[in-house]
Amino acid sequence: MKFRKLSIFEYLLYIGIVAVGILLDQLTKWLAVRYLMPPPEDPLYTVPIIKDALHLTYAENTGAAFGMLANNRWVFLIISTVAIAAMIFYLFSGLSEGRLAGIALSMLISGGIGNMIDRVALGYVVDFIDFRLINFAIFNGADSFVCVGAGLLILSLVLEVIREGKEKR
């Protein structure tokens, strides 16, 4: 294992991404609860942004990503806590390879914490982004951060493998 010393800029960048990600996630969920909660007379209430493609629809998710394994709150809290702690250690220990990996980990951490806040405070996660074009599950900002962060982490790993391959030549 090789450790690299993070610059002050990197510390601030990663902490900023985590903080802004959590703030945006919680703000959008608060707005969803305030303005999208369906009235009793219309339980299928939805707000079309692009008709039959993108709607805003309030949903309460008691499962993992996209509603899998519903009603296992404590399992998710334990697994999330361990995963977030491991990512924080990896990010700030200097083990991550480069800034792209650091940004990716920061996004993963912010998404994990954003959904964990809901699970602890509410017992479920508030979802509201309803992408209907491909009949996709309703999701939220934290889920988006996790997916984009995972994609960036994969890209970072691929670029690192390519770089190492070029160095060996």
> 82 in a domain, yes or no?
yes
> 2 in a domain, yes or no?
no
Give the residue-averaged pLDDT of 106-120: 96
Residue tagged active-site, from 25, 118, 127, 130: 127
| Dihedral, 52, 53, 58, 62 alpha carbons, nearest 10 | 110
Residue 73 has pLDDT above 90, yes or no: no
Range of the domain at 64: 8-168
> 3 in a domain, yes or no?
no
> 1 in a domain, yes or no?
no
> 124 in a domain, yes or no?
yes
**Has 127 been annotated as catalytic?**
yes
- Report how many domains make up the chain: 1
What pLDDT score was predicted for residue 74?
78
Residue 107 has pLDDT above 80, yes or no: yes
Residues in a beta bridge with 54: 50, 131
> 49 in a domain, yes or no?
yes
**Closest alpha carbon to 112 in 87, 138, 75:** 87
| Angstrom distance (rounded) from CA 15 to CA 3 | 19
Q: What are phi and psi of 47, to 5 degrees?
A: -115, 110
> 145 in a domain, yes or no?
yes
What pLDDT score was predicted for residue 62?
85
Query: Looking at beta carbons, which pairs linking 6-14 to residues 24 or more positions away fall under 8 Å?
Result: 6/92, 6/94, 6/102, 10/99, 10/102, 11/92, 13/99, 13/102, 13/103, 13/106, 14/91, 14/92, 14/102, 14/103, 14/105, 14/106
**Has 42 been annotated as catalytic?**
no
> 156 in a domain, yes or no?
yes
Residue 12 has pLDDT above 60, yes or no: yes
Residue tagged active-site, from 25, 118, 130, 143: 143
| Angstrom distance (rounded) from CA 122 to CA 119 | 5
